[in-house]
């Protein structure tokens, strides 16, 4: 049985594990020892290690035939030897690739990136060949990770794939707290288009990419819905019997909303997903947000 290594064993990885168990012996790099028993119960062999500590990664060299890289970049800038901050450097991916290069290389690697690499596209339809224009340091680190992976894969003959995911949601990943707090959204005429993918579908897309992705290929892991952000909030509110949040102008939002929210509200794009469907042969379980909300808001599931 082939061996698969998961890097970044969070929610999406946990959803993917049951889909992998029949085909692979699954290992997971785990920073927190408290999670070892949880993973063993799922049939996963935990390996202690930390992407921020290259020395701790020695045991993954030559281990796996395939790698699922779900780990986010560091949240703070990397400081170079000269004392300068490397805002756009993903040191975690750099450390991972260096460790994998110390032994027999994996045949395949799939990386979950973000649609934030495109920056603001003014609501345009965006395919996988659209120019990258990441604005935030975190998105710039994602661009760096993608570049590192593709260059490494081409040098070493590894079949790598990049999945650019938008906002990930699920029944337990809805903005109910924000709706209950009444945090304002942008008025429709100034609002941004946003994109979504259910966590279960993202897990299934990741597994499909291991089997079918073309070498060094980028795919949009996005569903069929193309909502403005405020419209998304309204649909969730309606599904759970909550009031719509107030709408304000973008200028007012700049004054009253925190920077973390504004960074998401300032980027507008609509992702195409035909390549993902055509090449990875994925049929979405939740083609739109509305499909998921119809199930989640049924009486037995309402919270």
- Per the CATH hierarchy, to which homologous superfamily does domain 2-118+128-171+196-223 belong? NAD(P)-binding Rossmann-like Domain (3.40.50.720)
Alpha-carbon dihedral 208, 214, 215, 216, rounded to 10 degrees: -80
**Domains in the chain: boundaries:** 2-118+128-171+196-223
pLDDT tens-digit map of 131-190: 999 989 999 999 999 999 999 999 999 999 999 999 999 999 999 999 999 999 999 999
From the centroid of its chain, how far is CA 166? Answer: 7
pLDDT tens-digit map of 45-98: 999 999 999 999 999 999 999 999 999 999 876 555 554 445 689 999 999 999
* pLDDT score at 80: 54
Query: Helix, strand, coil % (nearest 5) of the chain?
Result: 40, 20, 40
List 248's β-bridge partners, or say none. 186
Question: Model pTM greater than 0.85?
Answer: yes
pLDDT tens-digit map of 215-258: 999 999 999 998 999 999 999 999 999 999 999 999 999 998 88
> Using CA atoms, how far apart are residues 118 and 128, in angstroms rounded to an integer?
10
Strands 193-194 and 85-86, by their bridges, are unpaired
């Amino acid at each position: 049985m082939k061996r698969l290594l998961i890097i970044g064993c969070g929610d999406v990885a946990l959803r993917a594990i049951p889909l992998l168990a029949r085909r692979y012996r699954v290992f997971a790099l785990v920073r927190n020892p408290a999670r070892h028993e949880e993973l063993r119960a799922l049939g996963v062999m935990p390996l202690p290690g930390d992407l921020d500590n290259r020395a701790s990664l020695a045991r993954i060299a030559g281990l796996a035939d395939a790698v699922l890289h779900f780990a986010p970049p560091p949240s703070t800038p990397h400081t170079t030897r000269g004392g300068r901050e490397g805002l756009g450097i993903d040191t975690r991916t750099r450390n991972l690739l260096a460790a994998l290069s110390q032994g027999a290389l994996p045949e395949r690697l799939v990386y979950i990136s973000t649609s934030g690499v495109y920056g603001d596209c003014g609501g345009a339809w965006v395919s996988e060949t659209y120019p990258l224009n990441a604005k935030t340091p975190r998105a710039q680190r994602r661009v760096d990770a993608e570049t590192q992976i593709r260059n490494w894969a081409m040098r070493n003959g590894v079949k790598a794939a990049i999945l650019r995911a938008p906002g990930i949601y699920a029944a337990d990943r809805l903005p109910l707290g924000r709706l209950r707090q009444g945090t304002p959204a942008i008025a429709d005429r100034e609002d941004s288009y946003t994109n979504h993918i259910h966590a279960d579908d993202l897990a299934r897309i990741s597994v499909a990419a291991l089997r079918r992705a073309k070498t060094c290929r980028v795919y949009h892991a996005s569903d069929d819905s193309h909502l403005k952000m405020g419209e998304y909030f309204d649909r969730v509110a309606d599904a759970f019997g909550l009031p719509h949040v107030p709408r304000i102008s973008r200028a007012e939002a700049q004054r009253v909303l925190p920077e973390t929210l504004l960074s998401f509200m300032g980027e507008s794009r609509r992702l195409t997903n035909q390549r993902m469907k055509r090449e990875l042969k994925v049929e979405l379980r939740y083609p739109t947000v509305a499909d998921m909300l119809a199930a989640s808001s049924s009486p037995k599931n309402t919270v």
